[in-house]
Amino acid sequence: MRAVDGIDLHLDLGEIAALLGPNGAGKTTTIDMILGLGRPDQGSVTVLGMSPSAAVSRGLVAAVMQTGGLLKDLTVRETVRLTASLYAESRPVEEVLERAGISGIAERLVGKCSGGEQQRLRFALALLPDPALMALDEPTAGMDVEGRRDFWSAIRQDAERGRTVLFATHYLEEADAYADRIILLRQGRIVADGTAAEVRSLSSGRSVRASLAEADKATLSGLPGVRSVEIRGDRVLIQTMDSDAVARYLLTATKARDVEIVAHNLEDAFLNLTSDEPAPVPENRAGVGTAA
Amino acid sequence: MSSRLPVAVRPLTERRVLPLGGFNLTFLAIEIRRLLRNRRTVAVTVIVPVVLFLLLKSRKALAVGGVELAAASTMIGIAVYGAMLAATSGGAMVSIERALGWSRQLRVTPLRPAAYIAIKILVAMLLGLTSVAVVYIIGAIDGVQMTPATWVLTGILAWAASLLFASFGLFMGYLLPSENVMQIIGPILAIFSLFGGLFVPLALLPSVMQDIAPYMPTYGVASIARYPLVGGVFDPTWLLSVVVWTAAFAAAASVLFRRDTRRT
């Protein structure tokens, strides 16, 4: 079974990109390969023009892991100091503690920190080498709403200074709210890549719903732009690229009532593109070239 | 979270790689502090050998070469046991780090595996040194008699045993899950000690046990540690035993380490 199959990814400096996909889509596998924790069976991974392990040993790439990865019997400050000692050059310990918002709990044992505090500690560790690329695997899993917002505001401030951030998430809202770019993964392949608006438009078109007795499916399906027609009793549900034409037809040529037009949101795009049917090939920006 | 502090991602070409694979004294110091915080391990590795010594030293009737020699010989055997217990426990601490995902976290830093292993072995040997020192202090208070040179030499040789068992501990730490690593190591160390002649002189053991003894990892180190006291002919197979067992455990540990760091 392939977790990841032919992912080509090019990230620009200062970009915040989200790897979005359901569980098992290959998000963690992709991040592991970028970090040198896993190797592709075929092909290669290049990070900033070098191998992942060379980039990691120069502190060019750092990561915030999903869970674990911390020693419970060290204090927050000791964990940061220890990690700092492993880099040839690192940002000052006090500075990263402050930027991650954990100066106040520096003397606390890691085992006594909350999930959110541990996540900030992981973020602090990732800040130490001043990396060009920071990879975050499900960084806000288990955080409350406020913790999540604080965490992302710190990440955003950071990216504004030129750091590239790649994060994996299965929270749609998180990708929508915080990423400049969304890379939608499904069964180890990129099925969409673009801004939130662009990804949304891949599932473009709208739904038109109406109450209509004795609807004629063939006629409705024949209208311009219509992709599917569903009839449930007196209700019809039409997926279309041209909602105006459908609405005009329904209101002028039929006895349809209660006509509703609903725009698709990112969630529809997400469900549409990551459902278990064979992968659709989106028309714009599918399979962007060059390697990350 | 503050926004006032400056950040600048420096040009990529300026980046250096740390010398010595990331081995450094800050790391070592924090690891030692961490070990000391683990009071149970420290207490067990210091107290158990002392209790054993106080129980076993009274076997005067079993003395082979006179009462004093027997007490000193028992003390050295117990010191080797202490070094073994301490170093194995120290090495086996990697199983906890594996379970917590710390080893994986370290892999996304520039730290080289060899530097990590070196730190682990040093910390384990430091605990071994403590154990040997405490047994020797109790022995001295209890009236064990040796020449000053023999005290120092046997002490150093007993401590050197901890290198072999730090490798053994690492091997076990990579082999076993953290919940029961010490439960499994405990009985193994007891067998090593008994069959290797740490507690009771080999000459007093049944002949079957005497036949098995030379194949125990404790046999060579204990014989070498006692040599300055006992004298006589130095058997080169002792040294062979130490070298072969250390190499075997270190090789097994490094194979498992490589397997461990691959993502499953």
Edge to edge, what strands does the sheet with A257-263 contain? A226-232, A235-240, A206-211, A257-263
If one compares B60 and A244, the residue with the highest pLDDT of the two is: A244
Chain B residue whose CA is closest to A130: B9
Task: Answer positive or negative: Cα dihedral of B39, B45, B51, B53.
Answer: negative
Interface confidence (ipTM) of the complex: 0.82
B37 Cβ under 8 Å from any chain A Cβ = yes
Q: What is the pLDDT of residue B61?
A: 43
Tell me: pLDDT of B3 over 50: no
pLDDT 10s digits, A23-43: 888 888 888 888 888 888 888
Instruction: List B residues 62-81 in contact with A (Cβ-Cβ < 8 A).
Output: none
On chain A, the residues whose CB falls within 8 A of the CB of B264 are: none
If one compares A130 and A197, the residue with the highest pLDDT of the two is: A130
Distance in angstroms (rounded) separating the CA atoms of residues A143 and A114 = 9
Mean pLDDT of chain A, nearest integer: 83
Tell me: pLDDT of B62 over 60: no
Q: What is the pLDDT of residue A291?
A: 35
Which helix (H) or strand (E) covers residue B230, if one does?
A: helix B217-230
pLDDT band at B13 (very low <50, low <70, confident <90, very high): low
B107 Cβ under 8 Å from any chain A Cβ = yes
Q: B105–A125: do the CB atoms touch at under 8 Å?
A: yes
**Alpha-carbon gap: B36 to the closest alpha carbon of chain A (Å):** 10
**B contact test, residue of A29, A35, A56, A71 with most B CBs within 10 A:** A71
**Residue partners of A186: CB distance under 8 A and separation at least 6:** A21, A22, A25, A273, A274, A279
**Alpha-carbon gap: A172 to the closest alpha carbon of chain B (Å):** 25
Chain A residue whose CA is closest to B24: A85
Distance in angstroms (rounded) separating the CA atoms of residues A135 and A62 = 6
Chain A residue whose CA is closest to B22: A86
pLDDT 10s digits, A210-257: 998 888 888 888 888 888 888 888 889 888 888 888 889 999 988 888
Which helix (H) or strand (E) covers residue A177, if one does?
A: helix A172-178
Q: B100–A68: do the CB atoms touch at under 8 Å?
A: yes
Q: What is the pLDDT of residue A280?
A: 42
Q: B101–A99: do the CB atoms touch at under 8 Å?
A: no
Q: A99–B18: do the CB atoms touch at under 8 Å?
A: no
If one compares B145 and B244, the residue with the highest pLDDT of the two is: B244
**B contact test, residue of A58, A85, A122 with most B CBs within 10 A:** A85
Q: Smallest Cβ distance to B30: which of A36, A56, A81?
A: A81
Of the ranges A96-110, B3-17, B197-211, the best mean pLDDT one:
A96-110
Q: How far is CA A75 from CA A81, A142, A208, B33, in A?
A: 10, 21, 58, 11
Task: Give the pair of three-digit tokens for residue A84.
Answer: 């700092």
pTM: 0.78
Summarize the confidence of residues B19-40 as an average pLDDT. 89
Q: What is the pLDDT of residue B224?
A: 94
**Alpha-carbon gap: B88 to the closest alpha carbon of chain A (Å):** 20
Q: What is the pLDDT of residue A36?
A: 86
pLDDT band at B140 (very low <50, low <70, confident <90, very high): very high
**Alpha-carbon gap: B188 to the closest alpha carbon of chain A (Å):** 27
Q: A65–B26: do the CB atoms touch at under 8 Å?
A: no
**Alpha-carbon gap: B139 to the closest alpha carbon of chain A (Å):** 34
On chain A, the residues whose CB falls within 8 A of the CB of B2 are: 98-99, 101
**B contact test, residue of A82, A138, A165 with most B CBs within 10 A:** A82
Q: B109–A32: do the CB atoms touch at under 8 Å?
A: no
Chain A residue whose CA is closest to B17: A58
Distance in angstroms (rounded) separating the CA atoms of residues A189 and A176 = 20
Cross-strand partners of A166: A17, A135
Summarize the confidence of residues A186-211 as an average pLDDT. 80
CATH code of the domain occupying A205-263? 3.30.70.100
Task: Give the pair of three-digit tokens for residue B243.
Answer: 């070298």
Edge to edge, what strands does the sheet with A164-169 contain? A61-64, A133-137, A164-169, A16-20, A181-186, A189-194
Q: Are A174 and A18 in contact (CB under 8 A)?
A: yes
Summarize the confidence of residues B208-221 as an average pLDDT. 91
Lowest mean pLDDT among B25-34, B136-145, B255-264: B255-264
Tell me: pLDDT of B216 over 60: yes
Tell me: pLDDT of B65 over 60: no
Tell me: pLDDT of B264 over 50: no
Q: A58–B24: do the CB atoms touch at under 8 Å?
A: no
Summarize the confidence of residues A121-126 as an average pLDDT. 93
Q: A161–B7: do the CB atoms touch at under 8 Å?
A: yes
Q: A85–B22: do the CB atoms touch at under 8 Å?
A: yes
User: What residues does each domain of chain A span?
Assistant: 16-200, 205-263
> b/e for B208-222, b at 16 or more Cβ within 10 A?
ebeeebbebbbbbbb
Q: B1–A153: do the CB atoms touch at under 8 Å?
A: yes
Q: Smallest Cβ distance to A73: which of B2, B12, B38?
A: B38
Q: What is the pLDDT of residue B248?
A: 95
Burial label for A67, CB within 10 Å (0-12, 13-18, 19+), is middle
Chain A residue whose CA is closest to B25: A85
B16 Cβ under 8 Å from any chain A Cβ = yes
Tell me: pLDDT of A84 over 90: yes
Distance in angstroms (rounded) separating the CA atoms of residues B251 and B254 = 5
For domain A16-200, the CATH architecture is: 3-Layer(aba) Sandwich (3.40)
**Alpha-carbon gap: A98 to the closest alpha carbon of chain B (Å):** 6
Residue A84, phi then psi, degrees to nearest 5: -60, -35
Chain A residue whose CA is closest to B29: A82
Helix-then-strand count for chain A, H and E:
11, 10
If one compares A141 and B248, the residue with the highest pLDDT of the two is: B248
